[in-house]
């Protein structure tokens, strides 16, 4: 079997077209959705992510405000900026790009963002709402993965076993919750999982969010499984320096029924869901 490749770029374009139309309608009512993106330091990967997010906002007609702070920024100064953005009525979403330098607590930054502007879905209030099945803002990457499943006709996963490798607050845990809400039977794997392959081979839907290049091999995949690759890993220069996922794409595509490529899979959908969350924040549709 050779898997059907899920084209995240094409799906993202389609959804962004809808978002652009909704943004135009909101602007006609006098509201321009605004996203503030905060970058602390000069991590090259973060700079690329942030640039892509800002460009995507502008392309759908949203306002995006970029705040670039030096790597020496104190936690107090960053929290003060977040508080200012919380009070700014022209800003509907706030995204602080992680990781932040080590003198700053990521947890305190997340807790300071107003829940109604938490378009990254990381605030405890957002995470708790998702857990209770009444989601406000949901982390963009898992949300993008669910859109991809919907697009291939797998919105309802009743009777399916979904396995998520990874348990981060950003990807693994919210992914597992969304799969559960879609009626899948869900298993979460992590570095303490015994005989990982025995678990992953049971998956009808397999999500890899490990952060290790080409970690998931064909022997770990049940024939016919749907494989979503969240990973973004840069290969060392001696291996060409390109971007690869957490899935060994070449071998796994011979076993899976559907597979997402890297790049051009989950990545574009992540940014699209950020736009969707910002639009939702501007509409105030989930608060008040
Ligand atoms: P993370 O916080 O580092 O989490 C990685 C998870 O993988 C952890 O839960 C870890 O387990 C688990 N893990 C590590 N080694 C393992 C092993 N040998 N067997 C089983 N599980 C193992 O990373 P993340 O933020 O979730 O991101 C994961 C990947 O997705 C990264 O490559 C990241 O760059 C990428 N990413 C992509 C997008 C996108 O837009 N496509 C967005 C976000 C992240 P423990 O908890 O036990 O340590």
pLDDT at 135: 87
120 is catalytic: yes
Distance 212 CA to ligand 1 centre (A): 7
**pLDDT (mean) for 22-28:** 97
Domains, the chain, in order of start with CATH, read 30-115 (3.40.50.10860), 140-267 (3.40.50.720)
CA atoms within a 13 Å half-sphere pointing along the CA-CB vector of 224: 4
From CA 109, how far away is CA 63, in angstroms rounded?
22
The rounded mean pLDDT for the chain is 96
**pLDDT (mean) for 231-236:** 94
SS3 assignment for 100-121: CCCCCCHHHHHHHCCHHHCCCC
Q: For residue 287, is pLDDT > 60?
A: no
For residue 173, the tally of other CB atoms under 10 A from its CB is 20
**pLDDT (mean) for 192-218:** 98
222 is catalytic: no
Q: Enter the tokens of residue 230.
A: 């969240």
**pLDDT (mean) for 119-133:** 97
pLDDT at 98: 97
173 is catalytic: no
- Residue 257: strand, helix, or coil: coil
Confidence of residue 1 (pLDDT cuts 50, 70, 90): confident
Please tell me if the CB atom of residue 261 comes closer than 6 angstroms to any atom of ligand 1: no
Residue 63: phi, psi to the nearest 5? -90, 135
Taking CA atoms only, the protein residue closest to ligand 1 atom 35 is 231
Q: For residue 174, is pLDDT > 50?
A: yes
Q: For residue 127, is pLDDT > 70?
A: yes
Confidence of residue 285 (pLDDT cuts 50, 70, 90): low
Distance 230 CA to ligand 1 centre (A): 8
From CA 122, how far away is CA 66, in angstroms rounded?
20
How far is CA 32 from each of CA 83, 91, 92, 96, rounded to the nearest angstrom? 21, 9, 9, 20
Please tell me if the CB atom of residue 232 comes closer than 6 angstroms to any atom of ligand 1: yes
């Amino acid at each position: 079997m050779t898997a059907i490749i899920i084209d995240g770029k094409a799906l993202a374009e389609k959804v962004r077209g809808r978002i652009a139309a909704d943004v135009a309608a909101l602007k006609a009512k006098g509201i321009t959705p605004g996203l503030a993106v905060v970058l602390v330091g000069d991590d090259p990967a973060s700079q690329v992510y942030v640039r892509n997010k800002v460009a995507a906002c502008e392309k759908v007609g949203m306002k995006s405000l970029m705040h670039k702070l030096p790597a020496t920024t104190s936690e107090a100064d960053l929290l003060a900026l977040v508080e200012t953005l919380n009070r700014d009525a022209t800003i509907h979403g706030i995204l602080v790009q992680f990781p932040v330098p080590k003198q700053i607590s990521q947890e305190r930054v997340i807790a300071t963002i107003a829940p109604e502007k938490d378009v990254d879905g990381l605030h405890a209030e957002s995470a708790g709402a998702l857990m209770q099945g009444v989601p406000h803002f949901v982390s963009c990457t898992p949300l993008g993965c669910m859109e991809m499943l919907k697009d291939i006709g797998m919105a309802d996963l009743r009777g399916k076993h979904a396995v998520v490798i990874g348990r981060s607050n950003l990807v693994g845990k919210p992914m597992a919750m969304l799969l559960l809400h879609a009626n899948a039977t869900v298993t979460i794997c992590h570095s303490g999982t015994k005989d990982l392959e025995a678990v992953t081979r049971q998956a009808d839907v397999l999500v890899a969010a490990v952060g290790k290049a080409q970690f998931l091999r064909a022997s770990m995949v049940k024939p016919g499984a749907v494989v979503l690759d969240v990973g973004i890993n840069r290969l060392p220069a001696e291996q060409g320096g390109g971007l690869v996922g957490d899935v060994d794409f070449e071998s796994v595509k011979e076993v899976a029924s559907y597979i997402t490529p890297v790049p051009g899979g989950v990545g574009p959908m992540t940014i699209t869901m950020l736009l969707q969350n910002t639009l939702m924040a501007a509409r105030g549709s989930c608060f008040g």
